[in-house]
Amino acid sequence: MLSRESSYEGEYPTGMRRVRTLLEVDGVEREMEFLSNNMDWSPRSVSDLYRSRWSIEVFFKQTLRLAHFLGHSANAMRWPVWSALFCNLLLRF
């Protein structure tokens, strides 16, 4: 994995950095860019974190089929998530 980074401290109030890295996606090497406000982590750690987040997002959108919520309150988001997780658990067992 090849990683490069550049800093954008003057353009954003808290300081941002762009991390470019080569990742293997579906057997193909792709160059991807990630934005982070964490200046202490290595580029590899930033790309590993985003890869983990991506798999979590795919789980919720494809496995649980959660793409839209009926409201913006915590309860309007909590109920569909727990219901989908419960149904997924019942179907697996």
Chain centre distance of CA 51: 6
CA atoms in the 13 A half-sphere facing the CB of 73: 3
DSSP letter, residue 69 = -
pLDDT tens sequence across 46-79? 888 888 888 888 888 888 888 777 888 888 888 8
> Model pTM?
0.56
Residues 3-20 pLDDT 10s: 555 555 556 677 788 888
Beta bridge partners of 31: 22
CA dist 6 and 24 (Å) reads: 22
